[in-house]
Amino acid sequence: MHDNLSILIPVYNEAETISSTLSEIEAKIRTPHEIMIVYDSEQDTTLPVARKHMEEYLNIRLARNKYGRGVLNAIKSGFEDAANSVVLVVMADLSDDLGQVDGMFAKINEGCDIVCGSRYMKGGKQIGGPWFKKALSRMAGVSLHYLIGIPTHDVTNSFKMYTKNILDNITIESGGGFELGMEITIKAYLKGYKISEVPSTWRDRTAGKSNFRLWNWLPRYFSWYLYALKGRYITRVQ
């Protein structure tokens, strides 16, 4: 049984959003937890605001990204530094459905290794965001669900909960950004780990600036999509 959760928030100049995100975490999540805010540099505008909240919320700590700049390195660093045996990745822009977190943690304690927040299963939805990005994401998630049987309709969503056991046993090869969650989920599925999903609502940010660049990261998502297809085909042949 897992008792506590580490909530990992990678940030880059999120001074406009971090207060609301921290308040929503404390309002909606009942599972005992720590909050790790992972940042790249001391010049990040998030830090002064976060330090003020550390006086109010004693479960917040700051962690310096030890692998260099960027969201992927921040998440990798947070995975390693998390104090608890279960880790949840949450964005600092209030896009993720924090009302689902306690249910996700319950599924982990039922034996799941990864629980995915899913926009594309029954009960999930996406509000806002570029339509082309949404179409590609939905196509990738739903097609992998039906073509290879991966137990989530939303493999590209970053809003996922992991056991530290699986993070310690998956070699991360992603070199860019948010495709990290897709890579881990696909590799876990091909290795036979237990994956589940919960319906989740994703909302486009209303404050701050998004650092997501679809055209830069699209080839990386596609490479993991092909990896999933090839890996499943090889498993079936064997």
pLDDT at 165: 94
**81-85, 151-155, 226-230: the lowest-pLDDT one:** 226-230
Domain 5-237 has CATH 3.90.550.10: yes
pLDDT interval class at 29 (50, 70, 90): very high
Task: Say if CB 16 and CB 209 are below 8 A apart.
Answer: no
What is the mean predicted confidence (pLDDT) over 155-177? 92
**57-99 per-position pLDDT tens digit:** 899 999 999 998 899 999 999 999 999 999 999 999 989 999 9
Q: Is the pLDDT of residue 4 over 60?
A: yes
Q: Is the pLDDT of residue 210 over 60?
A: no
| Whole-number average pLDDT of the chain | 90
Q: Which one has a higher pLDDT value, 20 or 220? A: 20
**20-34, 169-183, 211-225: the lowest-pLDDT one:** 211-225
pLDDT at 216: 66
E-strand stretches of 33-165 = 33-39, 60-64, 86-89, 114-118, 125-127, 160-163
- The CB-side HSE value for 229 (13 A sphere, CA atoms) comes to 12
pLDDT at 30: 97
For the question of whether the overall pTM of this predicted structure is more than 0.85, the answer is yes
Task: Say if CB 191 and CB 171 are below 8 A apart.
Answer: no
pLDDT interval class at 206 (50, 70, 90): low
